């Protein structure tokens, strides 16, 4: 996370300013977020976590396709 923020914070901030005031992605806040994320999913567990995420997204896409193929119930989305 910290590496990501270091690389992209300025660009993200510049784009986000179009939508009004935004907090800057850096400094102590970034360090806190990085610490929390790495305690939740340690860097060495990232490949397994990404594989799990991708499997979940794949199943969600399949479910959406199945739901779209069901008869219309008349309910609004």
Which pLDDT score, from 0 to 100, does residue 77 have?
A: 57
Which pLDDT score, from 0 to 100, does residue 17 have?
A: 82
Which pLDDT score, from 0 to 100, does residue 76 have?
A: 65
Check residue 67 and report its DSSP letter. H
Which pLDDT score, from 0 to 100, does residue 61 have?
A: 96
User: Coil, strand or helix: which one is 1?
Assistant: coil
Answer yes or no: pTM beyond 0.85: no
**Domain map (residue ranges) of the chain:** 2-68
Which pLDDT score, from 0 to 100, does residue 3 have?
A: 82
Give the C-alpha separation, 32 to 25, whole Å: 11
| Mean pLDDT, the chain cut into blocks of 10 residues (77 residues total) | 81 82 78 90 93 97 91 69
């Amino acid at each position: 996370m910290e590496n990501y923020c270091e690389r992209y914070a300025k660009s993200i901030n510049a784009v986000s300013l179009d939508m009004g005031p935004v907090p800057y992605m850096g400094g102590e806040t970034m360090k806190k977020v990085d610490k929390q994320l790495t305690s939740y999913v340690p860097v060495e567990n990232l490949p397994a976590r990404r594989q799990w995420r991708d499997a979940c997204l794949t199943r969600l896409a399949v479910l959406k396709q199945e739901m779209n193929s069901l008869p219309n119930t008349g309910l609004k989305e």
